[in-house]
A = this chain, B = another copy of it.
């Protein structure tokens, strides 16, 4: 996700310094005019806005507070924007920790996947102080097409959890309907034509029913990443005290698929229903 986002920042005229753990990934961006930094600390040293996008909560902690982390060098008055999808609770703790050095912190997870990152059409859901959102807004608007400030620090991550809960159920519901139809011998092109403009109308049906009907699941958005996001959502659900039976079911099915098919698109959840149908 980071490379196409940095590319869009360069194209928008920003002065961009890049760092990746796999340093060779910096090269294409350097060729486009980015500076390279050997560590997160070096990348943050002169920045007004520092953007992180990594895999999970411990990775963000390392990039922020590790020995070569951003907190070593970030200037008071600068803003760190974490666009990873991680724990809302840890996010609030990171924000408090940075605040002691006068560094602002936003959680600004995205949806829209690699396609959205490339086209600059990501949906960004931001949590943090309004002043920090405004400092970061030009950067956010260069990488996304929809920036919404939801509330205080953590609110972005909680909103991402809402998003992932809903789409998990949508994918499974679509999979059950379509696999039932296939098994019943229906002409599925006609079924899609009949149902797609009624209450089934949805981005998931428009964009992923083709994968499910073809039993072929190119990315898209990896099942393994959605599973990671659902584990975060489930932990948050426990924290706030709500029981989500469908989300638990989706999580269990994804878990059963993850070893073999985690690198395929989330629509591969239909492979589980196909298996249950003997298809």
Q: Which residues of A contact B (CB under 8 A)?
A: 88, 111-112, 123, 125, 146, 148-151, 155, 158-159, 161-163, 165-170, 172-174, 176-181, 183-187, 190-191, 193-195, 197-205, 207, 233, 236-237, 240-247, 249-250, 253, 273, 276-278
Contact call A191/B159, Cβ cutoff below 8 A: yes
Counted per complex, copies of this chain come to 2
For A194, the closest partner residue in chain B by CB is B148
Determine which of B200, B202, B247 lies in contact with A163 in the assembled complex, contact meaning CB atoms within 8 Å. B200
Q: Which residues of B contact A207 (CB under 8 A)?
A: 199
Contact call B159/A194, Cβ cutoff below 8 A: yes
Determine which of B159, B168, B203 lies in contact with A186 in the assembled complex, contact meaning CB atoms within 8 Å. B159
Q: Which residues of B contact A190 (CB under 8 A)?
A: 148-151, 159
Contact call B198/A203, Cβ cutoff below 8 A: yes
Q: Which residues of B contact A242 (CB under 8 A)?
A: 179-180, 183, 273, 276-277
Main SS of the interface on chain A?
helix
Contact call B203/A203, Cβ cutoff below 8 A: no
Q: Which residues of B contact A204 (CB under 8 A)?
A: 199, 202
Contact A166:B177 (CB < 8 A) given known A146-B197, A249-B245: yes
Contact call A184/B146, Cβ cutoff below 8 A: no
Contact call B151/A187, Cβ cutoff below 8 A: yes
